[in-house]
Structure 1
Amino acid sequence: MFASLSLAQDKPQTGLRTAALDIVAASGVHHFTVEMALGDEERSVGLMHRRELASDSGMLFDFGRDDIVTMWMKNTILSLDMVFIKADGTVAHVVEQTTPFSLATISSRVQVRAVLEVPAGTVKRLGVKPGDRIRNVIFGNL
């Protein structure tokens, strides 16, 4: 899913570390358990080939530093929502209802530290918008 890297793999990756993550929006605090994509290989495979994703789960792509990042949906069966997050845990940008298998790049538009991918419809259901907060160990706030 990380646009600049592409590994030839035809099955979902497994065994990633998981961590708690909270989305703090006007609708309340919403608890998730996310897989942590921390290295280049983990980020490049992301959620490719997944056939299901629980409503309270997702994947957090940690780039380790602030940068403008691009994502894509190559080999990704599920439509996703993407939440682009600054180093302090503030939501910078959201993209809803991505197109499965698309090779089009999806930009953070601004410098971010991380991207949260969750099932399509999550952003709308929870009312997530720029300025909301994400709590997780990588942001030092959970």
Structure 2
Amino acid sequence: MGILFRLIGRVPAALAGVMLFCGAALADCAPGLVDIRGDFGTVRFRVELARTPEEQARGLMFREEMPRLSGMLFVYDRPRDVAFWMRNTLIPLDMIFLDAAGRIARIHENAVPLDETPIRAGAPTLAVLEINGGMAATLGLDAGDELRSPAMPQDAAAWPCD
């Protein structure tokens, strides 16, 4: 019950209910889902995977909306210093840069739609999670929080799939 009171103060009540429900149901990793845990608690996102160069180049371009607690996960074959831009991307996004262990290294909040300025990870990055702009702050996501997904390598994961 303590988590409920902490969340209600930081997150709209409807979203807090979703987070609590997800927290109870996070027993398994599943394709198309990612879980993030941190001081805020735990949250689950439904994601599309962008693994091929073609999928990664297209990303979330031309989308006019994205459901709440949804996103796109870009997974690379090895850690690298990546840069993203918002070419042909119509909705603001939060870009969550993840290290090889699945820990959040950096969050770029509210990337501006259609802006072609490169947004650099600034550190070796194995994956990037894009979610709706402002969602990272709403949920209280921060550097050091851990992501798990069956799409990520499990051998070095800070929070592996069971």
- The TM-score with structure 2 as length reference comes to 0.75
Aligned-pair Cα RMSD in Å: 0.9
1:46 to 48, 54, 59: 59
How do 1:111-130 residues align onto structure 2 when only pairs under 5 Å count?
A: 111-130=124-143
State the Cα deviation string for residues 37-70 of structure 1 (Å, max 9, x = none). 0010000000000011111110001112101000
Amino-acid identity (%): 36
Which structure shows the higher helix fraction?
A: 2
Is contact 1:25–1:126 with CA below 8 Å preserved after alignment? Answer: no
Count the aligned residue pairs.
Answer: 125
Name the counterpart of 1:10.
none
Name the counterpart of 1:104.
117
Structure 1 runs not aligned, ≥5 long: 1-17
RCO comparison, higher one (Cα < 8 Å, 6+): 1
Query: Distance in 2 between the 1:108 and 1:40 partners?
Result: 18
Name the counterpart of 1:81.
94
Which structure shows the higher strand fraction?
A: 1
Give the C-alpha shift of residue 139 in structure 1: 3.7
Query: Distance in 2 between the 1:27 and 1:130 partners?
Result: 12
SS of alignment partner, residue 44 of structure 1: helix
SS of alignment partner, residue 56 of structure 2: helix
1:133 aligns with 2:138: no
Runs of 4+ in 1 over 4 A off after TM superposition: none
1:57 to 70, 74, 85: 70
